[in-house]
A and B are shown apart, each in its own frame.
Chain A
Amino acid sequence: MRLPGDIDLTTSVSVWRRNLTEYSHTWMTNVLPNFFDPVLYLLGMGLGLGMFVGRGVGGLTYIEFIAPGLMAASAMQGASFESTYNVFVKMNFAKLYDAYLATPAQIQDIAFGELLWAVSRGLIYGCAFFAVLCGFTLFGHRVIVSPWAVLLPVAMAMTATMFALIGLTFTASIRNINYYGFYYTLWLTPLFLFSGIFFPLDNPQMAGGHAETIAWFTPLFHCVRLMRGLAQGPLDWTHGMSALWVLVVIAVLLVVVPRRMRKRMVH
């Protein structure tokens, strides 16, 4: 089956399945540790720091406030790791894409297959974390309270897709694996800290009242807002705007990524 952009879906699924095969050998060491990351933040910040944030945030306890945003972050991290280091190694060290390109597979099929895989991984982490949050809800925390929460996996998929595409764009642009130091420290970490996961950005004292305006131009902010709205309500037009923001970025990068990859790989 052909998708727009001359993507052969069967080939992309083969790339995806190859990754699944690799992970079926190594999931204990490769997949499991990353899952604990957001859980530890939830416990450390939510329960630990939460003891000092006595009055909570907007009627929620601190752990209830940060939980939806951490779900967005876990989808982001799953998709990012896959689309950065793992793709870089396959492309540059293992020369695997050179081997794929000698078969009927084309670069856009490969890029799309890796995207699917990165999204799958983001979804696996996001959903695992979602399950943890459902557990917290059962024990009396008001984390997942809105019926719209059934759409959370969709929001996770959007989050993972956007960050996988951003990661692939970066990966197709660098020639040295050490540049990921910048990507993680100066891009993903600030997003994690300043996208409204840990504190609300609409505070008039924060950045002269412009914090939210600035954050509006960054990607994770919209994912956090979406997750929080879907999990805890109430939904309004700003959530629609955020969803649209993410979809537009995805649409643009879906065009950019195969081009960049082709430029990088085919000469």
Chain B
Amino acid sequence: MDVAIKATGLRKSYGDFVAVDGVDFEIPKGVCFGFLGPNGAGKTTTMRMIYRASPVGDGSLEILGHEAAGGRNDRKIKQKIGVVPQEDNLDQELSVRENLEVFARFYGLDRKQAKARAVELLDFVRLSERADSKVLELSGGMKRRVLIARGLVGAPELVVLDEPTTGLDPQARINLWERMRDLKRKEATLILTTHYMDEAEQLCDSLVIMDKGKIVAQGRPRDLIRQHVSSHVVEIEIAAGRHANAGPSGESAAGAIAELSALAKRHEQHQDRLLLYVDNGEEVVTRAAQLLPDAETLLRRSTLEDVFLRITGRGLEE
């Protein structure tokens, strides 16, 4: 299996502050690879080192066969990479089409090729009718689509997408997922950061979770769920019963909670909500109905979000 990116002991500090603290990862070619993590975890810093906007602090970073540390291969690396940045930095003074044409020239396309590429990409992101609009006149979601088109003008082997769907409505988001799947079919390698766990679960073949500059978990979404949480979660709204004043007394409720918790692989209690991580969901739900008849009980499959909250440890308490 060909490797697109291999990072070894990758670090980056700003003054005394360590933003990326010695991470190792390997991204095979042709996959969609995710970077998850709370705000400030170091995702964008890592992305910026990958797309060569930021020098490698320490360690080694091999990108598509070129060593990035030292910066000598920046042009070669950047020629093969497309970037969709977290921040909107479209050229506000130009039209949508002009934005794409200008950037195409940076990848060495001539005038005719640049025009053709712009037309093709505008069609790809479904913005052909807005080709001659000023960027200023577009909605937020349209701007994101232009940013994505712009990231593709160099026909990249590797596309880095830093929170590409933040701020999009559900339709636009799903539309974008389709575009990303199209890209994968064309055998591009995708690197994605996102705060939407469902998105990561849907799109990423493999991912890492970062926290405070370090990688705290990595694997395939399904495997991570299996390793770090149980297959199902039972959520019990204890307050519902108590407010109705029909449930068991505080004391026996505590007993019920203790008994139910003992049935689970792991449990968490956040104020009036009890979360039970279980593999035998039906059984626990039945028992809960007996012990806490008035509580609202929900059985659902575990998600990446459960893993995320478990691992980064800053769940509902904060």
B89, B98, B102: which contacts A98 (Cβ < 8 A)? B89
A103 sits at the interface (CB 8 A): yes
Please, which residues of chain A bring their CB within 8 A of the CB of B108? 10, 104
Complex contact B78–A18 (CB within 8 A): no
A99 sits at the interface (CB 8 A): yes
Complex contact A18–B94 (CB within 8 A): yes
If over half of B's interface residues share one DSSP class (helix, strand or loop), that class is named, otherwise mixed; here it is: loop
A101 to B85, CA, bound (A): 11
A11, A98, A104, A266: which contacts B85 (Cβ < 8 A)? A98
Complex contact B105–A17 (CB within 8 A): yes
Please, which residues of chain A bring their CB within 8 A of the CB of B91? 18, 94, 96, 99
Interface residues of A in 12-38 (CB under 8 A from B): 14, 17-18, 21-22, 25-26
> Number of contacts between A and B (CB, 8 Å)?
69
Across the interface, name the chain A residue whose C-beta is closest to B105.
A14
Segment of B50-58, B119-127, B306-314 engaged in the interface with chain A: B50-58
Interface residues of B in 41-99 (CB under 8 A from A): 51-55, 74-75, 78-79, 81, 83, 85, 87, 89-94, 98
A14, A25, A95, A104: which contacts B79 (Cβ < 8 A)? A104
Complex contact B106–A14 (CB within 8 A): yes
Complex contact B106–A11 (CB within 8 A): yes
A128 sits at the interface (CB 8 A): no
A265 to B83, CA, bound (A): 18
Interface size on A, residues (CB 8 A): 24
Q: Apart from A25-B93, A103-B78, what are 5 other A-B pairs with CB-CB below 8 Å?
A: A14-B106, A18-B102, A99-B89, A102-B85, A104-B75
Beyond A22-B94, A103-B107, A106-B75, whether A14 also contacts B102 by CB under 8 A is: yes
B17 sits at the interface (CB 8 A): no
Please, which residues of chain A bring their CB within 8 A of the CB of B92? 94
- 28 A–B pairs (Cβ distance < 8 Å), ordered by A: A8-B75, A18-B94, A21-B94, A21-B102, A25-B93, A94-B91, A95-B87, A96-B91, A98-B53, A98-B85, A98-B87, A99-B91, A99-B103, A99-B150, A100-B106, A101-B53, A102-B78, A103-B78, A103-B103, A103-B107, A104-B75, A104-B106, A104-B107, A104-B108, A104-B154, A266-B53, A266-B55, A267-B54
Beyond A14-B105, A18-B102, whether A99 also contacts B79 by CB under 8 A is: no
A194 to B49, CA, bound (A): 49
Please, which residues of chain B bring their CB within 8 A of the CB of A95? 87, 89
